[in-house]
Structure 1
Amino acid sequence: MINTLFKQSIQIQRDQDVVPFRNKVKDCAVVLKMGLLNQTKLITAASELVRNMLKYGDGGEVIIESVMQERNKGVRLTFRDKGPGIADISLAMKDGYSTGKSLGLGLPGTKRLVNVFDITSEPGVGTTVSIIKWCNG
């Protein structure tokens, strides 16, 4: 079971919201004494997902949480948008797949950076991505 220690919701509507969001994610990781390598992985994953949310979902909400499972602490980020959704998640999770003009490494690359990655999407309704990066993982 995962217990929430701290929770904050942030609205992301424009590019200017990204840096303050990244700073809050870093602050949360520092409070938990997460090592620099894991902080870097978390912030890289968070940056990719927040950019996707702005680009494809026209912004949305991110919930930042400090969480604990047994003795392990970590940061959980949940990204929710009301964009067009993803028609085929399994295709979107393949390296090299892109609907834009990118390398197609965003979602699968993000999954490799974190310990827990969960995505749900409904075309016409939106997408929710939840990630967890453990301090010791």
Structure 2
Amino acid sequence: MKGMESITFRIQREADVYVALSAGRRLANELQFSETDRTRIEICILELAHNLIRHAGGGEITLTQVHRDPAQIGLAVESRDTGPGIPDVELALRDGYSTIHSLGAGLPGVRRLMDDFHIDSTPGVGTTVRAVKWRTSHR
């Protein structure tokens, strides 16, 4: 995994969200993602970072360049917290479901926008969400 680069951002308040967002935009540009996919990655970072603030009182977002094989490059967005956890992950992934009376587009939206999506949550311990967008080949 040569050239693998990872950068972690502490998310405690709104200003932190935009620091992570601009780094994600810069990394997606460097990796030559299409404009559409750059936007998808930005929405993912925005949603996950806001979830950290709203539901867990903060946490971390890590952006990592990943490789499936030498030709397949991706950008992984990982969100980690030590918040209350999600008692029912399946319910949380349903469109329209929200515990804070928001639009509920967060996790289901992230799952739709990204290519790979995994969530691991333990009530009382915390939640980790990992979403990857793979760059489509430029033929």
TM-score range, shorter-chain basis?
over 0.9
Cα drift, residue 4 of structure 1? 6.7
The reply to whether residue 81 of structure 1 matches residue 105 of structure 2 is no
Partner amino acid for 1:6? E
Change in CA separation of 1:95 and 1:69 when aligned onto 2, cut-off 3 Å: same
Indicate the residue corresponding to 1:101 in structure 2.
101
Local SS of the residue matching 2:27: helix
Structure 2's unaligned 5+ residue stretches are none
Higher RCO by CA contacts (8 Å cutoff, separation 6 or greater):
1
Answering whether residue 45 of structure 2 is matched by residue 46 of structure 1, we say yes
Match of 2:116 in 1: 116
1:13: how far off?
Answer: 1.1
CA RMSD of aligned residues (A): 1.5
2:133 and 2:93 map into 1 onto residues whose CA distance is 19
State the partner residue of 1:17. 16
Is this contact kept in 2: 1:3–1:69, CA < 8 A? no
> Identity rate of aligned residues, in percent?
38
Letter in 2 for 1:63: T
Q: Name 1:27's counterpart in structure 2.
A: 26
Q: What letter is aligned with 1:92? A: A
Question: Using a 3 Å threshold, how does the CA distance of structure 1 residues 6 and 60 change in structure 2: closer, same or farther?
Answer: same
For the residues of structure 1 that align with 2:5 and 2:46, how far apart are their CA atoms?
21
CA gap 1:11/1:33 in 2 versus in 1, 3 angstroms: same
Change (3 A) 1:3 1:125: farther
When residues 11 and 133 of structure 1 are mapped into structure 2, their CA distance, relative to the original with a 3 A threshold, is: same
1:5 CA drift (Å): 1.3
> 2:96 aligns to what SS in structure 1?
coil
Aligned residue pairs: how many? 136
Q: 1:95 to 1:63 in 2, by over 3 A?
A: same
Letter in 2 for 1:80: R
- Mapped partners of 1:45, 1:16: distance in 2: 17
Structure 1 unpaired stretches of 5+: none
